[in-house]
A and B are shown apart, each in its own frame.
Chain A
Amino acid sequence: MLEPDLAILGGGPAGVSLALALAHTPIRTMLFESGGLEFDAATQALYAGREAGVRYLPLDGSRLRYLGGSTNHWGGWCRPLDAIDFEKRDWVAHSGWPFGIATLKPYFKRAQGLLEAGAWVYDRADPIMGSQAPLMPVGDGGVYTSWFQFSKTRDGVLPTHFGDRYAGDLKQIPNLRVFLHANATALNLSANAASLASIDVATLTGRKIAVKPKVVVLAMGAIENARLMLASNGVATTGVGNQNGLVGRYFADHPIPRDTATLVHFAGDLPGYYFNGAQAGDAVLRATFAPTEEFKRTRKVVGSLTTVENPVEMTELDKAAIVTAALAVGADASNARAYSLGCGLELEPDPDRRLTLTAERDALGMPRLKLFNKVSDRDFQRYRDTMREFGRQLLAAGTGMIRLNYSTRGEWENALDWGDHHLGTTRMHNDPAQGVVDANSKVHDTSNLFVAGSGVFPTYSASNPTLNLIALTLRLAQHLKGVLR
């Protein structure tokens, strides 16, 4: 029997960040990671499941199960949540975090440091990048130029893989033990179901370990956290933390439809930072187009981040439309260039987009999952409204135009890709009837069980989650220092 103060289940960005944040404390921590230091097919196969509804990635294809977790295949895209993302918005069902952005702000820069994403310049990048080459003027309206920054290694190679990067640092922490190839297979509640009594851990080679920690943090990603909670139904028959049937519901990801629109820039070629990350000091930045807070409020849309993808050829109709529109507003389009646009969309929270257990079992005897995926027509329409506004303001400014490429649901679905950003399955809310965890990421009615990662996000923003989930994890670390004092 192992008896640490804290058991961290999962060695992805949340688990590794938590362990690093508690490095200089007396807290005796054990981190259990299912995989090893490299990809292993048998371990990866534990992720396999079924998908239904709107086409989604295979459940074993959108994650990686070894130290570093899904940072082993991420693109390094970083952008903080916006203040409005935390608000209860009357046009977004089930919206509202238990706190505002001010609660998370103190942790953003440390999270940025762990991601090696350079100086924090998201909100002052216009003049920095504008000094390299002029930005495309987007005019006044509901869409503005925003910025991604990128995680990178010291040599500027994108991005930071948490296993490779931090395995050595984890070894140096005196009060930390890291167990590789160690899979949590059950969360065992106390008889009165008020706390977690122990955890069952197993290896694929048949070894079994019982762990009795004072506190447990689930950091296995939004899908596996929910799976383990649902499957741990020995005391509470619906699973751990699932007394209100919320675990596994509200699953979300960022839809990434390709070639959603065509952007025409009347003045010719766009600077390179619209297509690729461009170095600025120790930061790597790329421009994106986002709806303003005011536009979100007045037009009742949600987040989206639109990026310029590739130059495209113009048809005769395109050329005619460009000439006609430019002449009509008194602009010169003789050097016009056209580009395809891609985007990441925020979905509205939906309890029916959910994970459930199936009768099928994996090699450890754990029930496999089924994901039912949904995207509503309104999710697509909100993005379309945003891009239509972008087209309006560009033409009003005399700098460009937009062509919207999709108008039917079939067209959207055919173009759909996904961000591999798993969100929402253990959502945060002060009310146990509306959330799985409270404002401190503690599972309601389970005194010593916490959840880290983007599974606790009650709304999702369009920003990529890694930076934000690490900031939230650093906040959790601060809270745990008090809990385990």
Chain B
Amino acid sequence: MSERSYSRRAVTIGGGIAAALGIAAIGVTVPRLFRRHYAASPYDDLFAKLIDRDAALPVGHAALEQWNGKAPTRTMLAATLRPRLERRTLAEVSNAELAQGNLREVQGWVLPESLVLLCVLAALER
């Protein structure tokens, strides 16, 4: 059995690397741990277009509050959004709508229409 010896310097460097990797791993993992988990939904194909579904929720709720009970149903929203988002990214749709002036306001924020409808759908399906 051979006995390996480690210098204090090597131990310090190795420990530092291990600590850095640990912090990095926590940095990656913790937000995922704390990010809200959503139950499976018939609209997941649409929600997949949202990069940050958590951030979309307050926007959707604000739009619902503004519409004061006159929001379309989830089925209607999905039926509107699916043809627009099928085979296109949200960025493509948003940029096209901005170019066309197809806009909605949510508490004054000027936003592309499909983005607002997607936020509303997310708020209804929370």
The answer to whether A and B assemble together is yes
Q: Answer yes or no: B46 CB below 8 A from chain A CBs.
A: no
Residues of A within 8 A of B57 (CB): 320
**Neighbour of B109 across the interface among A321, A327, A407, CB < 8 A:** A321
Is the pair A392, B108 in contact by a Cβ cutoff of 8 Å? no
Contact flag A324-B110 (CB < 8 Å), given A329-B98, A404-B105: no
Q: In the complex, which of the residues A321, A391, A395 has the most CB atoms of chain B within 10 Å of its own CB atom?
A: A321
Q: Answer yes or no: A278 CB below 8 A from chain B CBs.
A: no
In the docked arrangement, what's the CA distance between A323 and B110, Å?
A: 13
Contact flag A403-B109 (CB < 8 Å), given A324-B115, A329-B95: yes
> Which residues of chain A (322-358) have a CB below 8 Å from chain B?
323-325, 327-330
**Neighbour of A320 across the interface among B58, B90, B94, CB < 8 A:** B58
Q: A80-116 CB contact bits vs B (8 Å, 1 = yes)?
A: 0000000000000000000000000000000000000
Is the pair B59, A320 in contact by a Cβ cutoff of 8 Å? yes
The 5 closest A-B pairs by CB, nearest first: A391-B110, A396-B98, A320-B58, A403-B108, A323-B55
Is the pair A404, B108 in contact by a Cβ cutoff of 8 Å? yes
10 chain-A/chain-B pairs, Cβ below 8 angstroms: A320-B56, A320-B57, A320-B58, A323-B55, A391-B109, A391-B110, A396-B95, A401-B109, A403-B109, A404-B108
Is the pair B119, A324 in contact by a Cβ cutoff of 8 Å? yes
Q: In the complex, which of the residues B51, B99, B110, B112 has the most CB atoms of chain A within 10 Å of its own CB atom?
A: B110
Residues of B within 8 A of A401 (CB): 109-110
Q: Answer yes or no: B71 CB below 8 A from chain A CBs.
A: no
A interface, over-half SS: helix
Is the pair B98, A317 in contact by a Cβ cutoff of 8 Å? no
Contact flag A328-B90 (CB < 8 Å), given A316-B58, A317-B62, A388-B110: yes
In the docked arrangement, what's the CA distance between A226 and B118, Å?
A: 57
Is the pair B108, A405 in contact by a Cβ cutoff of 8 Å? yes
Is the pair A392, B119 in contact by a Cβ cutoff of 8 Å? no
Residues of B within 8 A of A323 (CB): 52, 55
Is the pair A329, B58 in contact by a Cβ cutoff of 8 Å? no
Is the pair A403, B52 in contact by a Cβ cutoff of 8 Å? no
Q: A370-403 CB contact bits vs B (8 Å, 1 = yes)?
A: 0000000000000000001101110110000111
- Nearest-neighbour CB distance to chain A for B74, whole angstroms, equals 19
**Neighbour of B59 across the interface among A317, A329, A388, CB < 8 A:** A317
Residues of A within 8 A of B99 (CB): 396
Please give the residue numbers on chain B whose beta carbons come within 8 Å of chain A beta carbons, in ascending order: 50-52, 55-59, 62, 90-91, 94-95, 98-99, 101, 103, 105-112, 115, 119
Report the contact-size class of chain A (Cβ under 8 Å from the partner): 20 to 34
Is the pair B111, A329 in contact by a Cβ cutoff of 8 Å? no
Is the pair B111, A321 in contact by a Cβ cutoff of 8 Å? yes
In the docked arrangement, what's the CA distance between A393 and B59, Å?
A: 20
In the docked arrangement, what's the CA distance between A213 and B77, Å?
A: 77
In the docked arrangement, what's the CA distance between A319 and B52, Å?
A: 12
Q: In the complex, which of the residues A319, A323, A324, A405 has the most CB atoms of chain B within 10 Å of its own CB atom?
A: A324
Is the pair B91, A329 in contact by a Cβ cutoff of 8 Å? yes
Is the pair A403, B115 in contact by a Cβ cutoff of 8 Å? no
Is the pair B107, A403 in contact by a Cβ cutoff of 8 Å? yes
In the docked arrangement, what's the CA distance between A319 and B56, Å?
A: 10
Residues of B within 8 A of A261 (CB): 108
Contact flag A392-B101 (CB < 8 Å), given A317-B58, A321-B59, A401-B109: yes
In the docked arrangement, what's the CA distance between A320 and B53, Å?
A: 10
User: Of all chain A residues, which has the CB nearest B54?
Assistant: A320
Contact flag A404-B51 (CB < 8 Å), given A316-B58, A317-B62, A324-B56: no
**Neighbour of A328 across the interface among B58, B91, B105, B107, CB < 8 A:** B91
- Nearest-neighbour CB distance to chain A for B60, whole angstroms, equals 9
